[in-house]
Chains A and B, each alone.
Chain A
Amino acid sequence: MATPSISIPKKHVSTRWIGKLIRQLLFYVLLLVIWQLLASAHIWKDYLFAGPLTVLESTKALYQDGSLVTAILVSVRRLALGYGISLILGLILGLAIGSNHYIEETLGSLVVALQALPSVCWIPLAMLWFGLSEQAMLFVVVMGALFSITLGVDAGIKNTPPVYIKAARNMGSRGLALSTQVILPAALPSILTGLKQGWTFAWRSLMAAELLYNTISLGSLLEGGRDFGDIGQIFAIMIVIIIIGIAIDGLIFQPLERMVRRRWGFAV
């Protein structure tokens, strides 16, 4: 008897999902057509505006000479490495700030202040300190992500329901075990928010820094497109950067967020 009442909403959800997909597909197909029509109309000069077919050509060329794959690997590797360093430092800093009143008053206020600085503002300093080098790129990524992660961990610790800590202490949990087995996991929803913000900041400032650094990378291909007047390449790389952003968000952060939201029983 309960079957129809269960299957109806299910069907409803699935048709809604398919409907959304169809509408989105239609929108993007339409967008491509308009884009191509605009390009074919030659309203703007060809070296200022590339149509989708030109962009496709450029993408194919970049792929075939191997520079696209190399560039993606180089940029993503920098992001991953710098982000990893930020993650470790951010967890330690956030834990210290979140659990000690004096550290919060001092170091905590500094982190809040530095967080207010747009992360691209670290680029000139990075160039001065490390020159145009791999270290400079890493520095920019670390500075982009570190403070968001730190503040996320700190907020998570402060918002931890005290009952978890009480229960854990009562069951004999102390010190490091209490921190790693209870306080950090309890803070996960909030940490995740910081992690997400941290990665977008890091990714943006890395792209900016790579514009200035002439070894092959996504940023330098973008800048190269300008240098060689290759508008197709500029459009192609921009699209690639967007796709990587969507992929990282969709493959890493969204599943994590969904899992946490469901398991913790509240919205992040």
Chain B
Amino acid sequence: MIQSIGNKSRSIEVAGGDNISPSAGGNSLRIEGISKTFVGGERVVEALRPVDLSISAGEFVCFLGPSGCGKSTLLNIIAGLEAASSGNIIVNDKPVRGTGTDRVLLFQEAALFPWLNIQKNVEFGLRQAHVPGKKRAEIARHYLDMVNLSGFENSYPHQLSGGMRQRAAIARALAIDPDILLMDEPFGALDAFTRDKLQAQVETIWSATHKTILFVTHNVREAVALGDRVIVFAPRPGRIIRDFHIDLPRPRSLEDHHLG
């Protein structure tokens, strides 16, 4: 199953290699026999055939495939926002159930809360964790700075462009300091220019924070530009058909890294 693009050492992985060793320590993710079937009247829809995957800490993994291939379903199951029909999600050798702030999902629409300004949006998760106000503000400022949104603390989401909203959503997710970032076509609604800029920024953030990132996309270029690993899904029934390692040197983006 495992193939390689590029010519670095990773291409020596063993076939069927679910056991890519989590040597980095940190938070590894194991997906064991996760499947999802919907029963609609007489019909049984196999949204996702049992999937086994092992993802090491700090890895950037792209789930690539057409719509209806179960890639978003798998991401939602990992986030704990959807229940699996079978199987286990194991984070750091512990099975997890339901949502957890160690795994934060980013949506195609930024899903910022329109009634809160950007600062308060980024502080939201910290507020749920009862982090004191001063500390909250400090952390929020740090991450807003990281996504180049300093100066927009008091703006409301409707005053920001689509790309800025998505960056604010990334800051909001990072503020909770999750080990795993789950990104469900986060740039799908953006224009090509904004998309390229944000890809570069995500790559920068990833190399700065060493988060494990699972990134769902149906864009081959995006998957190859970002991932250490590209896992290809096929629809009807949703299943994994390929697992590529991308050993191209980083940073891969041809775009300007400095965003204004």
Contacts and interface: CB of A to CB of B under 8 A. Distances in A.
B111 A169 contact: no
A171 B124 contact: yes
Given A163-B107, A166-B81, A262-B158, A171 B114 contact: no
Interface in B126-157: 127-129, 156-157
A172 B101 contact: yes
Nearest to B103: A170
A185 B112 CA distance: 13
Nearest to A173: B128
B104 interface: yes
B124 to A, nearest CB: 6
Nearest to B125: A171
A164 B172 CA distance: 13
B109 interface: yes
Interface in A127-185: 161, 163-164, 166-174, 177, 181-182, 185
A172 B125 contact: yes
A185 B113 contact: yes
A188 B124 CA distance: 18
Interface string B74-90: 00000111000000000
B128 to A, nearest CB: 4
B127 to A, nearest CB: 8
Q: Which 9 A-B pairs have the closest CB atoms?
A: A171-B125, A172-B128, A185-B115, A167-B111, A163-B111, A265-B158, A172-B101, A173-B128, A264-B114
11 contacts: A161-B111, A166-B111, A169-B81, A170-B104, A172-B176, A174-B128, A177-B128, A185-B113, A185-B115, A263-B114, A265-B158
Interface residues of B, number: 26
B171 interface: no
B230 interface: no
B99 interface: yes
B104 to A, nearest CB: 6
Contact of A264 (B80, B81, B99, B158): B158
Interface in B50-104: 79-81, 99-101, 103-104
Most buried by A among B124, B129, B176: B124
B73 to A, nearest CB: 14
A186 interface: yes
Contacts of B104: 170-171
B168 interface: no
Contacts of B158: 262-265
Interface string A237-249: 0000000000000
A214 to B, nearest CB: 45
B156 A171 contact: no
A171 B128 contact: yes
A265 B114 contact: yes
Interface in A245-268: 262-265
